[in-house]
Structure 1
Amino acid sequence: MPIYALTMLVAGIGIPLLAALNAALGVRIGSPAAAATVLFCVALLATSIVTLATGPKALMGIPLAPRHLLLGGLLVAFYVLSITYIAPHFGIGNAVFFVLLGQLISAALIDHFGLFGARISPLTLTRATGLGVMTLGVWITQRA
């Protein structure tokens, strides 16, 4: 399991980097939407290479998947478009703070109710306190 934690730590490090890089690209080229389009083209190329290398037959299962599971793509597009537009005006730290707060809230709800097949992990008082402490910690870092 340490590899999972390390991988997610690196992914977490990437979120503000993605925000800063894409926001800067959007400002430089004068269009947050065009910057997001470039990001998605690069991401499509990267994920296509990984898919081809690891088993392209999995793509055949897409028509069998419930349609609501494809909404993740819209959520990614919303995130990228919003962070690319808002970060230059609001600051990377502030933007990511609210993204993190939203992640904490939605992750707790998804785990508590076992939504989308997630492993159920009830929102106990201890867990809620931990989420509150995490939220407070992130808020404190943004006040300085």
Structure 2
Amino acid sequence: MTSTTTLSAGLPAAYREGLMRHAREVSFPAGVRLFEEGRRADRFWIVRTGGVALDLQVPGHRAVVIESLGHGELIGWSWHYPPRMWHLGAETTSPVRAWEFDAEAVRALCDEDPEFGRMIAVWVGRVVAQRLHATRVRLLDLYAPYGSGSN
């Protein structure tokens, strides 16, 4: 199955190129917290190399890893929708090289070019839907009496 949530599958080439003109290369060692639930979402990343675990705080339990992200995948979608607060946490699981984007600058581009904005919204919306599904399945696997049934 081909993912529609990676940058290359999620955005047509012209819009990808427009977005990438605003990228800044960054790197993080393993074990770095990129963001925490409930904090302000003012940037996002696209993984070049390495891995990032998305996690969710569950009252009375340790944080639960919801999904692992790798090459080409979007880290963070909360920057796109009000109230622009992180809904999950994220931590690098290995050294990561990524492209970093200033959320305010990208939202301004979306406002300036409505078609670009629509394509970004569709891509980010696909990511949100996929992450919601992954969260549901993971929580059912951990806490439902019979798991998610997705074996």
Tell me the TM-score normalised to structure 1 length: 0.31
Tell me the TM-score normalised to structure 2 length: 0.30
Q: Which has the higher helix share?
A: 1
Query: Larger relative contact order (C-alpha < 8 A, sep ≥ 6)?
Result: 2
Task: Kindly name which structure, 1 or 2, has the bigger radius of gyration based on alpha carbons.
Answer: 1
